[in-house]
Structure 1
Amino acid sequence: MDGYCSRRVIMFLLFAFAAISRGYGQESTTLVPAIITFGDSVVDVGNNDYLPTIFKANYPPYGRDFANKKPTGRFCNGKLATDITAETLGFTTYPPAYLSPEASGKNLLLGANFASAGSGYDDEASMVNHAITLTQQLEYFKEYQAKLAKVAGSTKSASITKDALYVLSAGSGDFLQNYYVNPLLNHAYTPDQYGSFLIDTFTNFVKVYISLLLSGKSPVCGHIEQMNLLLNIGFHD
């Protein structure tokens, strides 16, 4: 794991421990009730296995250092930073990829992973890559809220989404797989201008996401500062 990845793991854990100090998950064996993940290949745990896209990690050598020595859909030879975070927080199994068959029943109590390799803040580029756009990831999160309420009941599901750990990791692909290889974009925008567009999109994502929690009647107001902190940690270029 290089220095950049190590720093990201450290930032994830620092946020998690800060959350613990505020009393998250005190009634559970895990330190937070669930982990909800949005983003790109850095945190995709297998959603792209169920999409008609060239961005897949379902073949060797992916997964060779994972527990079962087989590809898992992770763009990694072993565990992702989010996997290490989940283990540190007390999880014995990982939140499932939302498009996988495992994302059903009691498994939803662990949270869900909506990330998709080839995705990013620019929805148009994500669609070209046949990835799950961030807009669609939010729609899936809305579906997840409804499914979770059926499994756990409205009161418990609201508590889970209120106290869950939220991760958003995206942005690098927007430049590497879109801006730098698309002459229409790099002639129309400077890197700074395109970066500003991505930041505006990121800001709107946060606003829509918070509105989804509020529409679910989760008492999130006291948690917005922490959510914004972690979401900003996930923005990278």
Structure 2
Amino acid sequence: MAGRFDGKAAIVTGATSGIGRTIAARLHDEGAAVVITGRDEQRGRDVVQRLGDRARFVAADLTSAEGADTVVDTATAVFGRLDVLVNNAAVDHTGGLIDTPMAEIRETFEVNVFAAIRMLQAAARAMTESGGGAIVNITSRLATIGVPTMAIYSASKGAMRSLTRAAAVELAPKHIRVNDVAPGMTKTPLYDAWLAAQADPAQTEDDVVGAIPLGRLAHPDDVAAAVAYLASDDARYVTGATMPIDGGYTAQ
């Protein structure tokens, strides 16, 4: 749906690979000017080069006190406004709950929750000045289900789901909508690396796909399409919602 974001500016965090990269490309294809962030500067510049005009890369540590403001200030300085934030940057965590060191827990929450909150705060301030906007948090199916060894990651994504609802209510008078997209197992480089590490990758993938009612993994394009909808004016009356992109997995 080319043109839905004509004249608008967006930030996509964690956009140098996987789902974030595909989201940034989708918004850009539909007309948005896009600022992307990521930990790998070379990959970030490669993404911007492929996107072409209306794209900028900002190398910023989002866990730092000034990281979020740096990214938002770049968007408003270069493109003159901020209309969309996609809070996608996150780290994975796997490990037994009772044996996970507090340092690992803090690191996971620093990236997945605290940095995302800072981005939401900075973006909301900018959006308030320009009359409103849309924020989409990327959560996970694991925000609502229990999977062994994934408790810390699940807790971080559950926090973001709760934040989505509270922020939606608080920011509604400022005409800022806040929603989240909860992907299921998605075929990304991270998934491919995880699968390759399994004792029997083929059987593992059969088991994963067999548990999904629609019978396939999600693709990054599936997630990007949902984000684009929630960020667009097509969803102008949607706020505080979670959209599961999991092929019906959590509906069972």
TM-score, length basis structure 1: 0.42
User: More strand per residue: 1 or 2?
Assistant: 2
TM-score, length basis structure 2: 0.40
